[in-house]
Amino acid sequence: MTVIAHYKDVPESARGHSVALGNFDGVHAGHRAVIEGAIAAGAPLGVATFEPPPRQFFRPDDPPFRIYRPARRNARLAELGAKAVYELPFNADMAAMTDEDFARDVLKNGIGAAHVTVGFDFRFGRGRMGDAGRLASLGRALGFGVTVIEKIEALGAKASSTAIREALIAGEPEKAAEILGHDWIADGTVEHGEKRGRTIGFPTANLHLGELIHPRHGVYAVRVRLTGEQAWRGGVANFGRTPTTGIRDPLLETFIFDYDGDIYGQHLEVALVRFLRPELKFDVLDDMVTQMHKDVETAQHHLAG
């Protein structure tokens, strides 16, 4: 799969695709329906999204909100059959485009789309002036087909990135997984931490989530995958500021069951399976250790189920 970080001078091999157009953060059920609609048009599958997301451009001071980093999103799109991903640069120039400018300069002349598929609520152009119906009209005038995918339901509500974020912030990773089609995965490079866990029998692999959405602070049953491994290992993780040992930036600290290798600097994937409890402050360290043993038992029970 080819990843193209622009829409100008796109190589001929990446033109003439049937393009799924949208956000695709998380590649949830609604996104997959748009992709399936694009595949049904018959041409090689391309996926066009915006990088950075428009929300990040317009509201740079918002808390972290990405469901997945671009590399994970693109890997998922490749699994679904994408031959090209167009990471359309969302900047001041693109924000100023009219809906007609975008359809002509980006979709038609830029990436050379043969067909475009969008969700029913897609908006584009300066001030979100264009909708799916307008795109269909512009497509007819410019010479590319348009398919509009109707609302996809999940858990009785629209399958959306917003619903996934709300579930994670509420400490409901199962609900997020229902919409995503799999457990939500945080990933990153394992960092050196305070190493206090090792002194009490619970060494942890530590990740800063950075631009990824921050789930509810607390303890989770998790599955963990190490670099180079296919199988997932069980574990228990705390995301938060560890009020017992000190306030700091939120950190995902994962204790991997039956593992004591050195993985500093390696890439780690942590899938949230079940929220177990909120963060607690312990006045006595032994009380914290006792609770951690209970957390391990509870996590093992949920993972076994």
Indicate the pairing of strand 233-240 with strand 251-256.
Answer: antiparallel
**How far is it, in rounded angstroms, from Cα 280 to Cα 224?**
23
Tokens of 283: 């006045």
**How far is it, in rounded angstroms, from Cα 144 to Cα 59?**
33
Q: Check residue 153 and give its pLDDT.
A: 73
Least confidently predicted of 13-22, 186-195, 196-205, 227-236: 196-205
Phi, psi of 233 (to 5 degrees): -100, 155
Which band of pLDDT confidence, cut at 50, 70 and 90, is reported for residue 28? very high
Domain 2-157 adopts which CATH fold?
Answer: Rossmann fold (3.40.50)
Q: Check residue 159 and give its pLDDT.
A: 78
Indicate the pairing of strand 205-207 with strand 251-256.
Answer: antiparallel
Query: Where do the structural domains in the chain lie, given as residue ranges?
Result: 2-157, 184-304
CATH architecture of the region 184-304: Beta Barrel (2.40)
Kindly report the average pLDDT of the chain as a whole number: 93
pLDDT for 155 beyond 60? no
Which band of pLDDT confidence, cut at 50, 70 and 90, is reported for residue 213? very high
Least confidently predicted of 104-108, 164-168, 242-246, 257-261: 242-246
> Pick the residue with more confidence: 195 or 214?
214
What is the tens place of the pLDDT at every residue in 124-148? Answer: 999 999 999 999 999 999 999 999 9
Neighbours of 90 (CB within 10 A): 18
pLDDT for 114 beyond 70? yes
76 burial via Cβ count (<10 Å: 0-12, 13-18, 19+): buried
**How far is it, in rounded angstroms, from Cα 281 to Cα 171?**
19
What is the tens place of the pLDDT at every residue in 173-206? Answer: 999 999 999 999 999 999 986 656 555 668 899 9
> Pick the residue with more confidence: 94 or 202?
94
